[in-house]
Amino acid sequence: MTALICGSIAYDTLMSNPGSFSDAILPDQLDKINVCFLVPEMKREFGGTGGNIAYNLKLLGDDPVLMATIGLDGAPYLEHFSSLGISTRHIRTIQHAYTAQCFATSDRNNNQIMSFHPGAMGFSHENRVSDARQEDIKLAIVSPDGKDGMIQHAEDCAEQGIPFIFDPGQGLMMFSREELRRFIDLAAYVIVNDYESEVLAKNSGLSTGEIASQVDAYITTLGEKGARIYLKNGEAIDIPSIPVSQAVDPTGCGDAFRAGLIHGLTHGFDWKTSGRLGSLMGGIKIEQMGAQNHRPSPAEIEARFEKAFGYRFR
């Protein structure tokens, strides 16, 4: 059995300015700002929440079903996934839009200016979960994507009887109180980071305890502090982070955590082991630049898990 990943595909264009933004921005002239930054270093990475989760599940030996939209410039991404053996059969190409893209420029002080173009994400609702009914799906995740698509896929999963994880991520602010409560009502699990947890509580009007009581598990990732899993019975499980050789780039760490968690849930692991596998995957990812450049084998993942936690997860 496999997992259905409903979420974005995007290109991340990362640029570096050797100077400081503050040298070019005059605080008293912000009403008529007009600046240009030299970026001698630039690289393009494969990203997007859905793409990143599917990538990490493949590293774990799974065959994820990714349901996403890509634009007229999507051929390199499709070729990338095909080369890795990741199915693209449920990735819809939107010929009149570009693939979602994030443009990020950093200066020497690690300040960052970002722009995001949603592009083909805005048509994610054209994909329907019923299109994947021939797949042997045990679990789904509804992760950041176009607003209409996220709503549609949550409703579709509920209609198809597929338990799903609600992962609002960066899309959290798109939804009204009523929409957030509907997601929580339909979902089997909810996952957010610690900041998003506070925003979700504020915008939904539900406390952490109230959300946890309505789902089978409410998972909050805590960065270098690991994660906490609140179960419906009131139990809270603390998941530690793992030691890393060097924290190079946090981009995509949360998605790697989600992949480890999903692998555990679809293979019948207990919550502690599933959470620890998520923590391990996040730790492996942070040691590499970019969201899809780490390439440990399943055997290497198993060995590192045993070293970190003292037992094997398989």
Residue 292 near residue 46, CB atoms below 8 Å: yes
Give CA separation, 174 vs 68, 85, 269, 282, in Å. 19, 33, 33, 26
- Measured in degrees and rounded to the nearest 5, phi and psi for residue 127 equal -85, 135
- Sign (positive/negative) of CA torsion 128, 129, 130, 131? positive
Nearest C-alpha neighbor of 190 from the set 295, 119, 100, 261 = 261
In residues, how long is the chain?
A: 314
Pairing assessment for the beta strands 112-117 and 137-142 based on DSSP bridges = unpaired
Could you tell me which residues are beta bridge partners of residue 106? Answer: 16, 112
Q: Which one from 12, 145, 255, 270 is the annotated catalytic residue?
A: 255
Judge whether 63 counts as a catalytic residue: no
- Three-state DSSP class for 259? helix
Residue 251 near residue 12, CB atoms below 8 Å: yes
132 DSSP 8-state letter? G
Write out the DSSP string of 5-32: EE---EEEEEEE-SS-GGGT--GGGGGG
Copy the structure tokens of residue 218. Answer: 């409410």
Q: Which residues contact 254 (CB under 8 A, 6 or more apart)?
A: 169, 193, 221, 282
Residues designated as active site: 255
